[in-house]
Chain A
Amino acid sequence: MNIELTPEQRALQQEVRDYMKTVMTPELLEEMKNDELKEGGGPEFRKQYARMGADGWIGLSWSKELGGKEMSHVEQYIFTDEVVRSGFAYPFLTTESVTPVIAANANAEVREEVVGGVKQGKVVIAIGYSEPSAGTDLASLKTKAVKDGDHWIINGQKMWTSLANYADYVWLAARTDPDESKKHKGLTMFLVPTDYEGFSVTPVHTLGVRTNATFYNDIRLPDKYRVSEVNGGWKLIMGQLNVERLSLFTHGQVDSLYVDTCKWAAETDAPGGGKVIEQPWVQHNLAKVKSGLEVVKLICWKQAWAMDQGPLDMAAASTAKVYSSEFFVELYRMLLEVLGGAGVIAAHSPGAVLKGRIEFRWRVGSILTFGGGANEIQRDIIAMAGLWMPRTR
Chain B
Amino acid sequence: MDFTVSEELHSVQQLAAQILGDFTDVDTLKRIESQAERFDPELWKALAEAGLLGLDIPEAHGGMGMGFYSLTTLCEEVGRTVAPAPVIAVLVGAAGTLQRFGNAAQKDQWLPGIANGSHLLTSALEEYGNDDPTQPTTTAQSMEGGYAISGHKFGVENACSAARILVAASTDDGVIIALVDPKAAGVTLTAQQVTSGETRSELALENVQVPAEDVVATGAEARTAIAWASQATRTAMSAMAVGLCDKMMRITGAYTTEREQFDRAIATFQAVSHRVADCYIDVECLRLVTQQAASLIDQGRPAADAVTMAKIWCGDVTHRVSQASQHCHGGTGVDRDYPLFRYCLMARQIELSCGNTAQLTGQLGQSIAQEYLAAAG
Bound Cα distance A376, B269 (Å)? 12
The verdict on B299 contacting chain A, using a C-beta distance below 8 Å, is: yes
Q: Which of B69, B295, B362, B373 contacts A287 (CB 8 A)?
A: B362
Q: How far apart are B275's CB and chain A's nearest CB, in angstroms?
A: 9
CB-defined contacts of B368 to chain A, threshold 8 Å: 262, 277, 283, 286-287, 290
Name which of A4, A294, A306, A315 has the most chain B CB atoms within 10 A of its CB: A294
A sample of 19 more A-B contacts (CB under 8 A), given A4-B1, A263-B375, A283-B366, is: A1-B9, A1-B295, A2-B1, A266-B373, A267-B376, A282-B369, A283-B362, A283-B369, A286-B369, A287-B362, A298-B292, A322-B277, A323-B284, A379-B277, A380-B273, A383-B280, A389-B273, A390-B265, A391-B268
Bound Cα distance A386, B313 (Å)? 21
Question: How many chain-B residues does the 8 Å CB contact rule pick out?
Answer: 54
Q: How far apart are B254's CB and chain A's nearest CB, in angstroms?
A: 8
Q: How far apart are B325's CB and chain A's nearest CB, in angstroms?
A: 12
Flag A88-124 by CB within 8 Å of B: 1 or 0 each.
Answer: 0000000000000000000000000000000000000
Flag B47-87 by CB within 8 Å of A: 1 or 0 each.
Answer: 00000000000000000000001000000000000000000
Bound Cα distance A9, B368 (Å)? 26
The verdict on B149 contacting chain A, using a C-beta distance below 8 Å, is: no
| CB pairs A–B below 8 angstroms (16 shown) | A1-B295, A3-B2, A3-B295, A4-B1, A262-B371, A263-B375, A266-B372, A277-B369, A280-B362, A287-B362, A299-B284, A301-B1, A379-B277, A383-B273, A383-B280, A387-B253
The verdict on A6 contacting chain B, using a C-beta distance below 8 Å, is: yes
Query: Known contacts A1-B3, A2-B299, A295-B285; is A387 also within 8 Å of B277 by CB?
Result: yes
* Chain A interface (Cβ < 8 Å from any Cβ of B): 1-6, 9, 74, 262-263, 265-267, 275, 277-278, 280, 282-288, 290-291, 294-295, 298-299, 301-302, 305-306, 315-316, 319, 322-323, 376, 379-380, 382-383, 386-393
Bound Cα distance A267, B373 (Å)? 8
CB-defined contacts of A306 to chain B, threshold 8 Å: 3
Query: Known contacts A2-B295, A376-B270, A390-B257; is A291 also within 8 Å of B312 by CB?
Result: yes
Q: Which of B280, B291, B294 contacts A382 (CB 8 A)?
A: B280
Indicate if the CB atoms of A299 and B288 lie closer than 8 Å: yes
Indicate if the CB atoms of B365 and A280 lie closer than 8 Å: yes
A384 nearest CB neighbor, chain B only? B273
The verdict on B24 contacting chain A, using a C-beta distance below 8 Å, is: no
Q: How far apart are B280's CB and chain A's nearest CB, in angstroms?
A: 5
Indicate if the CB atoms of B362 and A389 lie closer than 8 Å: no
The verdict on B26 contacting chain A, using a C-beta distance below 8 Å, is: no
The verdict on B256 contacting chain A, using a C-beta distance below 8 Å, is: yes
Q: How far apart are B278's CB and chain A's nearest CB, in angstroms?
A: 7
The verdict on B5 contacting chain A, using a C-beta distance below 8 Å, is: yes
Q: Which of A1, A285, A393 contacts B268 (CB 8 A)?
A: A393
Indicate if the CB atoms of A284 and B362 lie closer than 8 Å: yes
Indicate if the CB atoms of B274 and A383 lie closer than 8 Å: yes
Indicate if the CB atoms of B361 and A287 lie closer than 8 Å: yes
The verdict on B276 contacting chain A, using a C-beta distance below 8 Å, is: yes
Bound Cα distance A12, B293 (Å)? 24
Among residues 232 to 279 in chain B, which have CB atoms less than 8 Å away from a CB atom of chain A? 249-250, 253, 256-257, 265, 267-270, 273-274, 276-278
The verdict on B281 contacting chain A, using a C-beta distance below 8 Å, is: yes
CB-defined contacts of B289 to chain A, threshold 8 Å: 291, 294-295, 298
Bound Cα distance A322, B281 (Å)? 8
A306 nearest CB neighbor, chain B only? B3
Indicate if the CB atoms of A390 and B372 lie closer than 8 Å: no
Bound Cα distance A193, B276 (Å)? 45
Indicate if the CB atoms of B313 and A291 lie closer than 8 Å: yes
CB-defined contacts of B278 to chain A, threshold 8 Å: 379
B249 nearest CB neighbor, chain A only? A387
Bound Cα distance A298, B369 (Å)? 23
CB-defined contacts of A283 to chain B, threshold 8 Å: 362, 365-366, 368-369
Q: How far apart are B258's CB and chain A's nearest CB, in angstroms?
A: 10
Bound Cα distance A294, B291 (Å)? 12
Flag B306-340 by CB within 8 Å of A: 1 or 0 each.
Answer: 10010011000000000000000000000000000
The verdict on B109 contacting chain A, using a C-beta distance below 8 Å, is: no
Bound Cα distance A286, B291 (Å)? 23
Among residues 344 to 363 in chain B, which have CB atoms less than 8 Å away from a CB atom of chain A? 361-362
The verdict on B4 contacting chain A, using a C-beta distance below 8 Å, is: yes
Bound Cα distance A315, B285 (Å)? 13
Indicate if the CB atoms of B373 and A275 lie closer than 8 Å: yes
